[in-house]
Structure 1
């Protein structure tokens, strides 16, 4: 079998706009059937292997010693951007968080907050999260029967939950929203226009802007850390700020990275799944009636909404040694793209994968990843979604689209970008 992916398919994989329509799934369907582990060679990018089958994604995710997160960029980047980030930070990474770590560092840093995100600890947060969900539904009910759900609801509710857990004051919400959106919105076409496409800026100006952004991020979170070191509280910010690794206090850079991954991974991904689920309900009134008639189906609805949306589209891994995998010879240093959105539509795992179904038992979705790097906040995300829909659906009489639903242009994190709704609610 020829290992190189056809040029048209490879270019689709690196086109952010393809992730906002069906073109990416057309590409994935072809790849799963014809070249499930192929090599993409696209001008402007280092070559990379494209992993599209559910089973292969799981197996690579299991082999953490052979396939590293931190050796190269963990998200797909253009060669010019990779070089610029390395020049600015001295590493392939914009920030250093759990996502960019491998053993022995990764398990040490993950252990710092693991108990905060364990099923038992998350369950203890349910009353507070449900109160926030009820407050959000009351706010929706006070609207005039229309809203842009992504901006009016989906972005704010999960951020509110995360800020509560971190112990960040609500006065910081606009700042936190901007910081999280700036990180994940860089490929969105509207933001590229607004930002003037940073990759085309002169190198010195690019470095200035990126350093300014990093400094802003660090200032914001280090202010919180300084306060928690002086006045520790029973919150996640205090755990991070006062962490000790190998007998030494956590560095400012790694504390910033930790705050960043909690704030962003716990926000944008949950927002996308929330809006993705609402988008399905808006187009399927029978599904809404089913859920209203049998609220016990809401947990299955949440799991399917996560699979359906798959907010994290791709992650990159780097081979640490020469190996043979799925019939391909992978060389040490090779880059691999794990295509979660493809794995979650794999016909070998999911019957009728392009249908939204509540009867997937078990639902083997891999939107949270797998193995040592499985999303530490997965139980919190499920609970947030479950609480919001359990509070909303009994009061929701009807919901429909009130305009065109559009999606984020991004090969990394994405979902609905705009979701205009018309609704009736008690």
Structure 2
């Protein structure tokens, strides 16, 4: 159903409360139908262009020569200055450096490598679920969905088992609710932890991602200590945050649409398309930003050098021009060419890992016939960066 141009809602895509307490899809639907290339005026954030249609987002992702990642991939207040990872981390670099940096770690996230890790990942998942089952009631976000991807990426990075729980506590503080000072201190503690770890790996490299970064070269030179630390942080965040939110958002969707959960229980072969639909439905990265490095035009609107262009992924993944009944959660949906994991040169390097983690987690609940019920009111994140549950209290019952 198309939006009525006369019924334009107030457009404010940078209000965090819109994502925790409101309905951003009302605004996105109107923009897709009426202003698919929309100039969003400045607030406490600088002004930016907003792309909300699937094909426009896909085309911009593919055009890395016009739309640069090196000046940051998220909106941030001008007084915060440039993103310190700009031009230095995997997510915030352009070609040719991006390809060389990606080449250092690419093999670790390839299909073969992830399959070799699958049994260990299954063991991690089973242990996490066992611990939650013992308690009976838990927060699915923090007690299950956050732990599985964190423990897996810690293992891949060469973090000793003894450090997993420490990093779990720090990442919970760094990316969870709470005051800014606590979050800032936790970020510094994480960087301090990896500073010590990289020194150990420099003296005694192992078969892990941190060792690869410490010993590898980009453009013929070894990475600086700061570049190694920034990329360690990037891998830790990228390997945990979106999977955590997708896993918990997917569980919330299955609880809200019990007929879909029943279809999955009746036919576990639907798990693979179910994971793809969960990724589309949750679209955990609310926006991704690029900066124009040459003039261009989109939908008749002139884009100048230096303009910020934002891709609103949940909107693109509900575009009725691409998806039949996009507002319906359907675990049998085919085709399902969502953009939840990006597209083009910056397609998520951990996409295969994330899909396997989600599959193993839901498989654990299916094969053991674990009953999941809400045990309180879910709370959504107050954020324009990622969207999904902040808390999901559940009661778990073993068959």
TM-score surpassing 0.5? Answer: yes
SS in 2 for 1:227: helix
**What count of residue pairs does the alignment treat as equivalent?**
392
Quote how far apart the aligned CAs of 1:389 are. Answer: 1.1
1:122 maps to which of 114, 123, 127:
114
Pairing partner for 2:127 from 135, 138, 144? 135
Q: Distance in 2 between matches of 1:8 and 1:177?
A: 40
Deviation at 1:50, TM superposition (A): 0.3
1:151 is matched with 142
Structure 2: gaps of 5 or more residues? 1-6
Q: Could you report, residue by residue, the CA deviation over 1:265-284 in whole angstroms, capped at 9, with x for unpaired residues?
A: 11011011110111122233
CA distance in 1, matches of 2:153, 2:189: 20
Give the C-alpha shift of residue 398 in structure 1.
2.8
2:222 corresponds in structure 1 to 249
- Identify which of 136, 160, 164 aligns with 1:173: 164
Of 195, 198, 214 in structure 1, the residue corresponding to residue 180 of structure 2 is 195
Which SS does the other structure have where 2:318 is aligned?
Answer: coil
The answer on 1:16 being equivalent to 2:16 is yes
What's 1:103 paired with? 95
From 333, 337, 343, the equivalent of 1:364 is 337
SS in 2 for 1:305: helix
Structure 1: gaps of 5 or more residues:
1-5, 199-208
1:375 maps to what in 2? 348
Query: How far did 1:45 drift?
Result: 2.4
Match of 1:389 among 337, 362, 367: 362
Aligned to 1:162: 153
Q: How many angstroms does 1:348 deviate by? A: 0.9
1:241-280 map, 5 Å: 241-280=214-253
* Shift of residue 397, structure 1, vs aligned partner: 4.7
Contact 1:180 1:268 in 2 (8 A): no
**TM-score, scaled relative to structure 2:** 0.92
- Which structure 2 residues correspond to residues 25-36 of structure 1 after superposition, within 5 A? 25-36=25-36
Pick aligned residue for 2:203 from 218, 222, 230: 230
> Among residues 254, 257, 266, which one is paired with 1:281 in the alignment?
254
Q: Deviations over 1:109-139 (max 9, x none)?
A: 1110011111122111111111212222322
Contact 1:10 1:41 in 2 (8 A): no
Report if the CA contact (8 A) 1:396-1:423 is conserved. no
Displacement after TM superposition at 1:412 (Å)? 0.9
Give the equivalent residue in structure 1 for 2:4: none
Q: Could you say which residue in structure 2 is the equivalent of 1:353?
A: 326
Distance 1:21 1:393, change over 3 A: farther
TM-score w.r.t. structure 1 length? 0.87
**Compared with structure 1, are the counterparts of its residues 423 and 182 closer, same or farther at alpha carbon in structure 2 (3 Å cutoff)?**
closer
Q: Indicate if the aligned counterparts of 1:93 and 1:100 stay in contact, CA closer than 8 A.
A: no
User: Is 1:292 aligned to 2:265, yes or no?
Assistant: yes
1:177 is displaced (CA, Å) by 2.8
Verify: 1:74 aligned to 2:66, yes or no.
Answer: no
Secondary structure of 2:135's counterpart equals coil
Note the C-alpha offset of 1:7. 10
Distance (whole Å) between structure 2 residues aligned to residue 336 and residue 106 of structure 1: 20
Q: How far apart are residue 315 of structure 1 and its match?
A: 0.9
Q: 2:288 aligns with which of 315, 322, 340?
A: 315
The answer as to whether partners of 1:218 and 1:253 remain within 8 angstroms in 2 is no
With over 3 angstroms needed to count, the CA separation of the structure-2 counterparts of 1:320 and 1:282, relative to structure 1, is same
With over 3 angstroms needed to count, the CA separation of the structure-2 counterparts of 1:178 and 1:135, relative to structure 1, is closer
SS at match of 1:364: coil
SS at match of 1:38: strand
- Go from structure 1 to structure 2 and tell me whether the alpha carbon gap of 1:8 and 1:177 turns closer, same or farther (over 3 Å shift): farther
Which residue does the alignment assign to 1:327?
A: 300
> 1:371, CA displacement in angstroms?
0.6
Q: Give the superposed CA RMSD.
A: 2.2
- CA deviation after TM superposition for structure 1 residue 360, in Å: 1.5
Deviation at 1:349, TM superposition (A): 1.1
Q: How many angstroms does 1:303 deviate by?
A: 1.1
User: C-alpha distance in 1, partners of 2:133/2:188?
Assistant: 40
CA–CA distance in 1 between the matches of 2:254 and 2:208?
35
Distance apart, 1:214 and its partner CA: 6.3
8 Å CA contact 2:173–2:186 kept in 1: the answer is no
